[in-house]
Amino acid sequence: MPGATQRLMLAMRFGYGGLTDVPRPAEVRRAVVADQLMGGSGAAGRLGDWVIENGYLVAIVRDVDGSARGGQLVDLARRKTRTDDLERFEVQVLGRPVRYDALQKGFDDATGAAYIQVSGHPEGKPGVNVTTRYDVGIELDAVVVHTQVQGFEPSPLDAPGDASPVVSDLLIGASSNGATGVVSTADHIAWLGPRAGYVVRPLAEDAFTTEPIEGGVRASFGVPAEEAAAGVVLFSRAITPLVRPDTAALDVALARARGRGVGEVEVRLAGRAALSSARGDISFARPDGTILWASGIEPSGVPAAYVVSLPVGSYDTAFQGTAFTSQRPAPVVIAKNRTSTVDVRVAPQ
């Protein structure tokens, strides 16, 4: 697909990569045993579908079968957990589902990425050709999705400069009690579910508008009429499965995607709960008043500490557990690629 390799390289330059020293090769294969599939409330992959993975994530693309789900990204999870909480990530073109009728797999020699590429037509539009490619790079902590549309005609009502929606992504979270739901801004959309979370960002100069729909959000890519006159559109975006479904993990993923620094903090409990081994929720308040939450964190190491990644900056740290809570916030400064420590004094609730 023309332009896909260049945009994938752009994603790699802008920090979607992880932190491991020895990256795992990207792989693509057909699912032939149950162990290649995922668990979780949103898991929809089945034997015969296609699996693409690297050292950070596993994605499943439904095999082309003539249905509206064929060729779509149906499951996505962190490699360590393999827990999917995504009901569906569906690509629509011109407001219509796409019926894919061909699939090919391969490797991109320029980037080392494994990919699945599907092609077909929007329902009722046989003269419009749609190609979607899912790339998983060696060091990418995201699936980069490229959709190329050819052969469509802009609406005669479009004036020069107007942006008409051509490609739309439906990000639907698995329905479950306790789900946090959708977070959307001008440059990203995210789903924070009870077991997993996801964030989607456009690449290059692409941008989208968002609107809430039942259980999720629709993100539409607008193409100015003068650019659409040739009848060819390429829209690229990256979807990342979060380390945890909370706002701290979301902010870390966004910071890496924007090329900003990330560090770690070890939160140690002081007082009567110093040896507590219980999970806890930790809040990090910025000077501007915004608060990031890291939820359900388990302590590790000796001495025991709650380890959380955060974007660089200054924070006031507080702890909340089932039996203990902090008495006052404790300040900490996060530096790029460094591990800071903070002692938080807690007392029984």
Contact 344, 317 (CB under 8 A): yes
Work out the percent of the chain whose per-residue pLDDT is above 70.
Answer: 83
Nearest CA-CA partner of 200 in 258, 142, 255, 248: 142
Burial pattern 324-335, b for ≥16 Cβ within 10 A else e, equals bbbeebbebebe
Q: Are residues 237 and 272 in the same domain?
A: no
Taking the C-alpha atoms of residue 288 and residue 265, their distance in angstroms, rounded to an integer, is 20
Burial class (CB in 10 A: 0-12, 13-18, 19+), 211: exposed
Q: Are residues 266 and 189 in the same domain?
A: no
Q: Are residues 235 and 280 in the same domain?
A: no
The predicted structure's pLDDT at residue 206:
61
Contact 12, 140 (CB under 8 A): yes
For residue 171, tell me if it sits in a domain. Answer: yes
Q: Are residues 126 and 181 in the same domain?
A: yes
End-of-domain residue from the set 192, 211, 241: 241
> Which CATH number goes with the domain that contains 310?
2.60.40.1120
Average pLDDT, the chain: 84
End-of-domain residue from the set 241, 270, 285: 241
Q: Are residues 134 and 11 in the same domain?
A: yes
For residue 35, tell me if it sits in a domain. Answer: yes
Q: What mean pLDDT is predicted for residues 294-321?
A: 92
Nearest CA-CA partner of 28 in 52, 47, 49: 52
Q: Please tell me the least confidently modeled range out of 53-62, 236-245, 272-281.
A: 272-281
> Which CATH number goes with the domain that contains 81?
2.70.98
Nearest CA-CA partner of 203 in 119, 147, 248: 147
Q: Are residues 204 and 280 in the same domain?
A: no
Better-predicted residue by pLDDT, 186 or 27: 27
Residues in Cβ contact with 129 at an 8 Å cutoff, skipping those fewer than 6 apart: 119, 120, 121, 149, 150, 151
Q: How confident is the model at residue 151 (pLDDT cuts 50, 70, 90)?
A: confident
For residue 269, tell me if it sits in a domain. Answer: yes
For the stretch 229-251, pLDDT in tens is 677 888 888 999 999 999 999 99
Q: Are residues 19 and 121 in the same domain?
A: yes
For residue 248, tell me if it sits in a domain. Answer: no
The predicted structure's pLDDT at residue 324:
83
The predicted structure's pLDDT at residue 184:
74
The predicted structure's pLDDT at residue 218:
82
Q: What is the 3-state secondary structure (H, E, C) of 101-159?
A: EEEEEEEECCCCEEEEEEEEEECCCCCCEEEEEEEECCCECCEEEEEEEECCCCCCCCC
The predicted structure's pLDDT at residue 19:
46
Q: Are residues 106 and 236 in the same domain?
A: yes
Q: Are residues 42 and 108 in the same domain?
A: yes
The predicted structure's pLDDT at residue 348:
79
For residue 295, tell me if it sits in a domain. Answer: yes
For residue 64, tell me if it sits in a domain. Answer: yes
Tell me the torsion sign for CA atoms 81, 86, 90, 91. negative
Q: Are residues 50 and 122 in the same domain?
A: yes
End-of-domain residue from the set 184, 210, 241: 241
Q: Please tell me the least confidently modeled range out of 64-68, 141-145, 307-311.
A: 64-68
Q: Are residues 272 and 215 in the same domain?
A: no
Q: Would you say how long the chain is, in residues? A: 349
Better-predicted residue by pLDDT, 193 or 224: 193
Three-state DSSP at 227 gives helix
Taking the C-alpha atoms of residue 183 and residue 190, their distance in angstroms, rounded to an integer, is 5
For residue 339, tell me if it sits in a domain. Answer: yes
Question: What letter represents residue 267's amino acid?
Answer: V
Q: Which helix (H) or strand (E) holds 225?
A: helix 225-228
Q: What is the pTM (predicted TM-score) of this model?
A: 0.87
For residue 254, tell me if it sits in a domain. Answer: no
Measured in Å, how far apart are the chain's first and last C-alpha atoms?
58
Q: Are residues 59 and 201 in the same domain?
A: yes
Taking the C-alpha atoms of residue 107 and residue 4, their distance in angstroms, rounded to an integer, is 12
Residues in Cβ contact with 318 at an 8 Å cutoff, skipping those fewer than 6 apart: 282, 283, 285, 325, 326, 329, 330, 344
Better-predicted residue by pLDDT, 96 or 304: 96
**Domain count along the chain:** 2
Task: For residue 127, give its domain range.
Answer: 4-241
Q: How confident is the model at residue 256 (pLDDT cuts 50, 70, 90)?
A: confident
For the stretch 209-233, pLDDT in tens is 887 777 778 888 766 656 666 778 8
Cα-based distances in Å from 346 to 186, 300, 308, 320, 323:
39, 18, 18, 9, 10
pLDDT of 274 strictly over 60: no
